[in-house]
Amino acid sequence: MTIKGACGGLVLSLVMGSSVFAQYATDAFRYSEINQTGTARFQALGGNHTALGGDAATISGNPAGLGFYNRSEFSLSPSLSNINTESQYIGNTTSANKSNFNVSNASLIITSKPDFQRKWKRSSFGISYSRQQSLQNSFRYSGVNNKSAYVDQVVQDADRVGWSDKDYDDEFYDNMQTVRYVDHAYYNLQMIYPTKFISTTEGSGAPYARDDSDKVSNQSGQFDATGANTQWTLAYAGNYNDKLYVGGSVGFNRIKYSYTNSFEDSFVNPTVFRSSVKGENLTVTGNGVNATFGIIYKFSPVIQIGGALTSPTFMRIRETFNQYVTADYINGSIRNDQGQDVGPTIEMVSLVPNDFEYSITSPLRGSAGLTYFFKDKGFITGSLEYVGYGAMRARTKFNSDDALNKEFNDDNKTEIQDTYKSGVNVRVGGEYRAGLFRGRLGIAYLSDPYLHTDGVDRSKLLLSAGVGVRSNRFFADISGTLNTYKSAYTPYVLNNAADYSSVNISNRAVNVVLSVGTFF
């Protein structure tokens, strides 16, 4: 997991290279990953949409499945999700959890009357609202660090930029309480200072230093995110001779996402600063469009196969990114030659808000599956999904400088290709039928999309189960899915990898879906 702002905002790339641009590759992946969607029935089956029909989930999965309908239907699927995280940082374990109530799926399917005199027997039109991704997250971490603090990264960044103290002074705004870059905030709070005299006119400059570099720090951080990627889908499908089912759909996506992220250093036995906090928040909205084409072919009453191809989603993203830095100064600890306190007179410095617009192209997706029916006793179904993460793109035309736009586009293309790879996901599920009763089990394995794991396996395992009842006029299903996976987050980085640590996170997400519907 990478959090935006690790180097201080997009505009900092003007003086510190392309590292910030590359962070948008992470955004492209965040808004492209899909775990499990649909109604309670299909989620209980491991998220299998490819070779099954007769369910509202096929509208945004494999639209050919609408061709199986011989009656119209309306359904609603509310859900409750909970994510629990266990974070390990410098030998300490911290837990957090977050819950959310939402609508997983809502759909209306209108079916035409069958024409028994023609090969094309019937067709169906469907419209659905579905929650494609849950973007909620929460984790906490803490630990005692005797090697470094966040301000050490700032010192190294300031050395890399090489500005003088006069350069820093020229960049202050609003009575020195608003700056453009993170290192400027720490300089303004006097947490970093130059150590080398340059000239009478330029003042002093790199290398920079900080006080209490030998002090131990009690470090802690917290991250909270909310949001979702939702989709309205219009689909149409036809049934040819009860053998071949063909369908297509158009999806209109809506992304809403926000997070708050903070990191605190609390120094043990300090002489100048008791503590410091680096905080940030991000708000994102976006819209996108995609298309899906699918087929299902029934070889016999007991065997059918299916396939679906979903185009990349073309999304336009708008975001606002804010950062701030606080410092708790010990009064009187910084004095001039006359013994006067010349320490900082303010406790917080904010960075200029960064508004930015860019576009994302999500991966191409393809799936193939097979279903075997045990006559009227149930079935087993499985599918393979291809997701081309390496072909994601993040581009912009937002900057007035075309060269800067090109740099953004090229850097993100390179970063995506160096970070992500295409993946193949496996889903298997089965349903048992006994009169009105239905029982279901499912499992899904989502492969690790990262080229370099750094010792963390980011594959996901989803276990699901559910039950339901179905009559001639009404149905009700309930399912539960457990999603377990690993992730990592690095609060800051230094030139020497031995001087900083990462947070290793064990994620456990549970999603419960209730679907109710009626035929008419």
* pLDDT (average), residues 418-439: 95
Decide if pLDDT at 490 tops 90: yes
| DSSP helix, strand, coil percent of the chain (3-state; round to 5) | 15, 55, 30
Decide if pLDDT at 478 tops 90: yes
Q: What is the distance between the alpha carbons of residues 440 and 428, in angstroms, rounded to a whole number? A: 11
Residue 1 in any domain: the answer is no
- Whichever domain contains 88, its CATH number is 2.40.160.60
**Range(s) of the domain holding residue 248:** 10-488+497-519
Domain total for the chain? 1
pLDDT tens digit string along 68-107? 999 999 999 999 999 999 999 999 999 999 999 999 999 9
Residue 2 in any domain: the answer is no
pLDDT tens digit string along 240-273? 988 999 999 999 999 999 999 999 999 999 999 9
Decide if pLDDT at 365 tops 60: yes
In this structure, of 18-22, 120-124, 226-230, 422-426, the range with the lowest mean pLDDT score is 18-22
Q: What is the distance between the alpha carbons of residues 380 and 372, in angstroms, rounded to a whole number? A: 5
Residue 178 in any domain: the answer is yes
Closest alpha carbon to 179 in 398, 350, 2, 33: 350
User: Which pLDDT band holds residue 275 (cuts at 50, 70, 90)?
Assistant: very high
Residue 4 in any domain: the answer is no
Q: What is the distance between the alpha carbons of residues 53 and 134, in angstroms, rounded to a whole number? A: 25
Q: What is the distance between the alpha carbons of residues 303 and 298, in angstroms, rounded to a whole number? A: 6
Omega into 207 within 30° of 0, i.e. cis?
yes
SS3 for 115?
A: coil
What is the end-to-end Cα distance of the chain in Å, rounded?
46
| pLDDT in the model for residue 12 | 32
In sequence order, which residues have a C-beta less than 8 Å from that of residue 468 and are 6 or more positions away? Answer: 40, 41, 437, 438, 440, 475, 476, 477, 478, 515
Percent of the chain with pLDDT over 70: 94
Residue 104 in any domain: the answer is yes
| pLDDT in the model for residue 270 | 96
**Would residue 17 be called left, alpha or beta, if left means φ above 0 and alpha means ψ between -120 and 50 degrees?**
left
Strand segments, DSSP code E, in 330-452 are 348-351, 354-361, 365-373, 378-387, 393-395, 423-434, 437-446
SS3 for 185?
A: helix
| pLDDT in the model for residue 35 | 87
Instruction: Output the CA–CA distances (angstroms, integers) from residue 17 to 12, 21, 205, 493, in the order listed.
Output: 8, 9, 20, 16
Q: What is the distance between the alpha carbons of residues 408 and 80, in angstroms, rounded to a whole number? A: 38
| pLDDT in the model for residue 111 | 94
User: Which pLDDT band holds residue 172 (cuts at 50, 70, 90)?
Assistant: low
User: Which pLDDT band holds residue 303 (cuts at 50, 70, 90)?
Assistant: very high
Characterize the bridge pairing of strands 137-145 and 193-199.
unpaired
Decide if pLDDT at 145 tops 70: yes
Decide if pLDDT at 379 tops 60: yes
Helix (H) or strand (E) holding 104: strand 92-111
| pLDDT in the model for residue 17 | 35
| pLDDT in the model for residue 174 | 55
Residue 3 in any domain: the answer is no
pLDDT tens digit string along 393-409? 999 998 888 888 998 89
Closest alpha carbon to 11 in 192, 205, 179: 179
Instruction: Output the CA–CA distances (angstroms, integers) from residue 258 to 57, 87, 139, 246, 261, in the order listed.
Output: 27, 21, 15, 39, 10
Q: What is the distance between the alpha carbons of residues 62 and 235, in angstroms, rounded to a whole number? A: 10
Decide if pLDDT at 292 tops 50: yes
- Mean pLDDT in the chain? 91
| pLDDT in the model for residue 92 | 96
